Amino acid sequence: MKQLVLGIDIGGTNTAVGLVDCHGEVLAQAAFSTKQFGSPEMLVKGIAESYHNLASGLLEPVELKAVGIGAPNGNYYTGEIAHAPNLRWKGRIRLASMMEEAMGAPAVMTNDANAAALGEMIYGHAKGLEHFIVITIGTGLGSGIVVDGEMVYGKTGFAGEMGHTTAVRWGRRCSCGKDGCLEAYVSARGLRTTALELLEEFRYRSLLAETPPERLNAKAIFDAAMRNDEVAIRAFEFTGEVLGASLADAVAYTSPEAIFLFGGLAKSGDLLFGPTQRSLDHNLLDIFAGTVKLMPSALNDQNGAILGAAALACKTYWKD
Amino acid sequence: MKQLVLGIDIGGTNTAVGLVDCHGEVLAQAAFSTKQFGSPEMLVKGIAESYHNLASGLLEPVELKAVGIGAPNGNYYTGEIAHAPNLRWKGRIRLASMMEEAMGAPAVMTNDANAAALGEMIYGHAKGLEHFIVITIGTGLGSGIVVDGEMVYGKTGFAGEMGHTTAVRWGRRCSCGKDGCLEAYVSARGLRTTALELLEEFRYRSLLAETPPERLNAKAIFDAAMRNDEVAIRAFEFTGEVLGASLADAVAYTSPEAIFLFGGLAKSGDLLFGPTQRSLDHNLLDIFAGTVKLMPSALNDQNGAILGAAALACKTYWKD
């Protein structure tokens, strides 16, 4: 019998599931639309069906040791998704216990950024590190903070919400309703807003001026930057400047030895890393100079979100 | 034999020492000028002499279990003071091992804000709390962060430097050389700068306009505020607004269940707590609403700094 965990990444658009061994090998995986499910019960049923289909396709019979779930606003302490703005089901959803019943194996949940940090710790570049932070940059910005080798969950289970710390006091309105949040600047949405602001000033200099606003997304800005478009490059520079300054704050809080960038925007390479590193260096307090490395997540080119959820299951229920 | 620890608080101006039992009773204490000592060796000798004088004045004979030291830039891992801007001796000073040799008892050191947090944990309002933060507000601003019942030291031992996180991007120049640090706004110095800025605008409305600039300190602003001076009250309001917003960021990082304010400015009562609480509530992310209490440190009216240093010694070397 092959022993495995089920890693589940629930996103507003898609849900991905994977059968993972504790070396981080994804033996089988599937993804499907989250929005097709009218209720959490139907989602759980869909995930269970997907698991059985995947398992029956493997050569060896499978023993499911545990289930790990990464979900927006997923709470490690309660196993609930609480008021996730990107999901259609509102209120508190007891997803961990529902999955437990459906699968007959223990289930544990956390938010997607914490799952990414656990993935980095168990399968990625953070193996053996006691103090590190993973920043996930996609539509929004999340963070998972590890201190003394343990995930920081805090009193509520919601610790590590760096996306909604203030990057610019009295700054840009964020989707959470606050002003100047890091996420309002450093995210796919934030990059787009920055590009639109820059276009007002430098319209005549940019390829992006030709792009219809509804198609002006992070991908389009990245492509333009790769073609040396001044506005696109400046948009990345400003994004990195804001991110690096907030990372310097994060270092002042917990003094990590490494910070990993994970997710869509983290794949922009030097376009983002260059200005972020310069701003981090510039804003870092002297006592921290040279103590912290900035690098891409090892999981960026893999099934990072599935691996993160699997890592949570392994760390919690499979200590061998 | 009465078992005791020696708590030492080293400040740029004064050094305070106290003989403390592990219930937090200060049996004897003394304070003297730090600046009179031409070298760290002379300071250590002075502290040892002060200890013997204090001990010989007690009714019972004393057994010294351990020595705890709180010092600016004191590093828990190395036992060194590293480049403290407020001390006249530069470079790295191996103070913990020097004290150990002088006293014949194990010695341990941390920075003054971490010591205050340990004091709160062991003798104050944070007994039994797993997640809390202590903010020390004096000439500067320090913080001690506790997660899962343990002090956060991070990779370097310097974690918890909230005073040098950015409160206002592109803001006021801080003494550390960075711009917009929390300490540049929320500290005795910051309050004074704010009052001076407000006086430029509202000169005719303030008692403080009569105060010579060299005497315009936090005490004078407090006194004026107590007499309903508009500029003084506004200065406290602005200070609290900036502090509350940064505290909301701190909650997003580690989700504490309580935040304690310690030190000179923390004794300003509702003048500071009122606007700080309002700004914290206003800036707190929804998921943290109602999960965190803001209150004065229990150690404000006692020998807080000595108790903090004693708590460090007790926690490290006297676990009964």
Instruction: List, for residues B195-209, the tens digit of each pLDDT value.
Output: 999 999 887 778 899
Q: Which of A164, A171, A292 sits opposite B252 (nearest CB)?
A: A164
Per-residue pLDDT of B60-104, as tens digits, reads: 999 999 999 999 889 999 999 987 777 888 788 999 999 999 999
Give chain B's mean pLDDT. Answer: 93
Q: Which pLDDT score, from 0 to 100, does residue A111 have?
A: 93
pLDDT of residue A319: 64
- Who wins on pLDDT, A32 or B11? A32
Task: Using an 8 Å CB-CB cutoff, list chain A residues near B255.
Answer: 152-159
pLDDT tens sequence across B154-165: 999 999 999 999
Chain B positions touching A130 (Cβ under 8 A) are 155
Q: What is the CA radius of gyration of chain A?
A: 20
Amino acid at B7: G
Beta carbons of B159 and B142 less than 8 angstroms apart = no
pLDDT at A64: 96
CA distance B129 to chain A (A): 9
> In chain A, what residues touch B131 (CB-CB under 8 Å)?
154-155
A250 contacts on B by Cβ (under 8 Å): 253
Pairwise CA distance, residues B283 & B244, whole Å: 8
Nearest CA in chain B to A168: B169
pLDDT band at residue B319 using 50, 70 and 90 as cut-offs: low
pLDDT of residue A300: 79
B255 contacts A155? CB cut-off 8 A: yes
- B155/A contact by beta carbon, under 8 A: yes
Are B253 and A155 a contacting pair at CB < 8 A?
no
Strand partners, A147: A150
CA distance A261 to chain B (A): 17
Percent of chain A predicted with pLDDT > 70: 99
Residue with the bigger pLDDT between A264 and A162: it is A162
Q: Is B290 on the interface with A (CB under 8 A)?
A: no
Sole residue written with tokens 């069906």: A49
| Chain A contact for B161 (CB, 8 A cutoff) | yes
The three-state secondary structure class of B171 is coil
Which residues in chain A are closer than 8 Å to B154, comparing Cβ atoms? 131, 147, 254-256
DSSP secondary structure letter of residue B179 = B
Q: Nearest to residue B178, comparing CAs of A255, A244, A236, A276?
A: A244
> B91 vs A215, which has greater pLDDT?
A215
Mean pLDDT to the nearest integer, A100-118: 96
pLDDT of residue B54: 96
Whether ipTM > 0.95 holds is no
Task: For residue range A274-314, list pLDDT tens digits in order.
Answer: 999 999 999 999 999 999 999 999 987 778 889 999 999 99
Looking at chain A, which residue has its C-alpha nearest residue B82?
A287
Residue A294, chain B, CB below 8 Å: the answer is no
Min distance B82 CA to chain A CA atoms (Å): 9
Give, as one character, the DSSP assignment of residue B277: H
How do residues B39-55 score in pLDDT, each as one tens digit?
999 999 999 999 999 99
pLDDT at position B194 over 70? yes
CA-wise closest residue to A305 among A77, A74, A42, A104: A74
HEC string for chain A: CEEEEEEEEECCCEEEEEEECCCCCEEEEEEEECCCCCCHHHHHHHHHHHHHHHHHCCCCCEEEEEEEEECCCECCCCCCEECCCCCCCCCEECHHHHHHHHHCCCEEEECHHHHHHHHHHHHCCCCCCCCEEEEEECCCEEEEEEECCEECCCCCCCCCCHHHCECCCCCCECCCCCECEHHHCCCHHHHHHHHHHHHHHHHHHCHHHHCCHHHCCHHHHHHHHHCCCHHHHHHHHHHHHHHHHHHHHHHHHHCCCEEEEECHHHHHCHHHHHHHHHHHHHHCCHHHCCCCEEEECCCCCCCHHHHHHHHHHHHHHCCC
Looking at residue B134, what is its pLDDT? 97
Average pLDDT over residues A31-52: 94
- When pLDDT is averaged across residues B261-270 and rounded to a whole number, the result is 92
Scanning B194-213 for CB atoms below 8 A from A yields none
Question: Distance (Å, rounded) from C-alpha A86 to C-alpha B243?
Answer: 31
Q: What's the confidence (pLDDT) of residue B89?
A: 82
Size of interface A-B (CB pairs under 8 A): 142
Residue of chain B nearest A287, judged by CA positions: B158
Q: Is residue A110's pLDDT more than 70?
A: yes
| Residue B320 pLDDT exceeds 80 | no
Tokens of A107: 């289930």
Q: Do B288 and A253 touch (CB under 8 A)?
A: no
Strand pairing category for A107-110 and A62-70:
parallel
The interface residues of chain A toward chain B in range 60-119, judged by CB-CB distance below 8 A, are 73, 82-83
Return the DSSP state at B86.
T
For B91-129, give the DSSP string: SEE-HHHHHHHHHTS-EEEE-HHHHHHHHHHHHSTTTT-
Strands ordered across the beta sheet of A141-147: A150-151, A141-147, A132-137, A258-262, A293-296
B118 pLDDT more than 70: yes
CB-CB under 8 Å, A255 with B159: yes
Closest alpha carbon within chain B to A292: B155
Amino acid (one-letter) located at B281:
D
Q: Give the separation between CA A224 and CA A208, rounded to whole angstroms.
A: 7
Which pLDDT score, from 0 to 100, does residue A320 have? 53
Of the candidates A56, A58, A72, which has an alpha carbon nearest to the alpha carbon of residue A25? A58
Specify the pairing of strand A26-33 against strand A14-20: antiparallel
Q: Which residue type occupies B51?
A: Y
Enumerate domains of chain B plus CATH numbers: 2-119+302-317 (3.30.420.40), 129-296 (3.30.420.40)
Sheet strands (E) in chain B: 2-10, 14-20, 26-33, 62-70, 81-82, 92-93, 107-110, 132-137, 141-147, 150-151, 258-262, 293-296
Q: Helix, strand, coil shares of chain B as percentages rounded to 5?
A: 45, 20, 35
Cα–Cα distance between A74 and A84 in angstroms, integer? Answer: 8
Mean pLDDT of chain A: 93
pTM above 0.90, yes or no: yes
3-state SS, residue B7 = strand
The pLDDT score that the predictor gives to residue A13 is: 83
User: What pLDDT is stored for residue A89 in this prediction?
Assistant: 82
Kindly state the DSSP code that residue B88 receives in the 8-state scheme: S
First to last CA, chain B: 17
Residue with the larger pLDDT of the pair A86 and A200: A200
Considering only the beta carbons, identify the residue of B156, B168, B283 that sits closest to A291. B156
pLDDT of residue B203: 77
Q: What is the mean pLDDT of residues B234-261?
A: 98
Question: For a pLDDT cut of 90, what percent of chain B falls above it?
Answer: 79
Instruction: Give the nearest chain B residue to A283 (CA atoms).
Output: B178
